[in-house]
Amino acid sequence: MAKLIALYKHPEDKAAFDEHYFNVHAPITEKIPGLKEMKVTKFTGTPMGDGSPYYLMCEMVYDSMDDLKSGLRSEEGKASGKDLMKFAGKLVTLMIGEDE
């Protein structure tokens, strides 16, 4: 399994972020070929009781690293990336990993 993980810092306007993320960005991303699962987590805090530096995380799961790379190169993958940079480019950190 390969994953693309997106970590989002807290947006200034959470309602506007959520509106765009869940009604525009997520539906674009869900169309990426090879994407097996997309899990979204909103953070509520840390075990130490502090506020999390991150607002939201999205894990996009693929069967293999080749599937992940092909998906990102697809038209749908490019559309998702373009939208991401437009609405959350300064908020997002992207990471790629593989299950052990």
Task: Dump pLDDT digits (tens) for 48-87.
Answer: 877 889 999 999 999 999 999 999 999 999 999 999 999 9
Question: What is the domain count for the chain?
Answer: 1
Domain that holds residue 42: 2-98
Distance (Å, rounded) from C-alpha 56 to C-alpha 86? 17
CATH number for the domain including 61? 3.30.70.100
Q: How confident is the model at residue 46 (pLDDT cuts 50, 70, 90)?
A: confident
Distance (Å, rounded) from C-alpha 21 to C-alpha 41? 12
